[in-house]
Structure 1
Amino acid sequence: MITWRDTYNVGVRQIDDQHQELVHRLNDFMEACTNQKGKEKIQETLEFLKAYTVEHFRDEEKLMQSVQYPELAVHKKEHDEFVHVIDELLQQVNSQGTSILTTIKLNRTLVDWLINHIQKNDGKVGEYIKQHP
């Protein structure tokens, strides 16, 4: 399980609330995997992520644009890559069904996203906003 830490906050309530929801969903998925129910939870998690990314990335990119964040293009590219991975996993599940490999890949993708993107890259956005209110 992942416990929300203040270091994950970027300092914008809407974005931080959305990130907390992602952690909550990730924990639900990880708990399902621990209880041998990951296959049952994967479709729901992927559907959530598909909707989440549309809203969250739009909000985050709009925020970065409003403060003229200099690394917006790079950040947006990372968002697009994440959306692509989620789309691929969803297509795989829809066409081939769930497997332990797709469950593991989704788990790894979400943990990596949380640790690397939110904490590091979104953290940079938060720091930039603090310096350029």
Structure 2
Amino acid sequence: MEWKDSYDIGVEKIDCQHRQLLVKLNEFFDACTNQKGKEKIEETLKFLKDYTLEHFGNEEQLMSEIDFPELAEHQKTHAEFVKTVLELEESIKTKGVSVLSTIKLNRTLTDWLINHIHKCDRLIGDCIAAKGNKAV
């Protein structure tokens, strides 16, 4: 997948983190395409755990600072994503890596990029613009 300017929300720190996620997503896709998804899945899940702690914290702090009206709902979607990642990690620990687990991670990441970042996170940028704020 390629980064589209429409994914940018207008906050460099957040946009940079989103681009970093896309890089990891593409690395995982490439590994799957080359029949190496099983080898890459654990590394990708570790990245996601670290990424979500930092990124979601940054994003939620920003939303709080700008009085984002949908903060609670956004936090809920973040928590659901973390839960999905942890469940997938636990499944891999107990059952091992499977084709199904690589497909599930592919779908989860693609859905997150397309639906959450492109649609939900975009609203953060819109909120900042509507308030005439300059986000740092």
Q: TM-score, normalised by structure 1?
A: 0.98
The AA in structure 2 aligned to 1:41 is: K
- Number of aligned residue pairs: 132
Q: TM-score, normalised by structure 2?
A: 0.96
Structure 1 residue ranges, 4+ long, deviating more than 4 angstroms after superposition: none
Q: Which residue of 2 aligns with 1:94?
A: 93
Q: Distance in 2 between matches of 1:59 and 1:88?
A: 23
Q: Which residue of 2 aligns with 1:7?
A: 6
Q: Which residue of 1 aligns with 2:61?
A: 62
Q: Secondary structure at the match of 2:2?
A: coil
**Superposition deviation, residue 95 in structure 1:** 1.4
Deviations 1:38-93 (A, max 9, x none): 00000000000011000000000000000000000000000000000000001111
Give the % identical residues: 55
The AA in structure 1 aligned to 2:120 is: N
- Asked if residue 40 in structure 1 is aligned to residue 39 in structure 2, the reply is yes
Q: Which residue of 1 aligns with 2:106?
A: 107
- Asked if residue 129 in structure 1 is aligned to residue 122 in structure 2, the reply is no
CA-atom RMSD, angstroms?
0.4
Q: Distance in 1 between matches of 2:111 and 2:28?
A: 14
Q: Which residue of 1 aligns with 2:73?
A: 74
**Superposition deviation, residue 131 in structure 1:** 1.1
Gaps of 5+ in 2: none
**Superposition deviation, residue 105 in structure 1:** 0.2
**Superposition deviation, residue 94 in structure 1:** 1.3
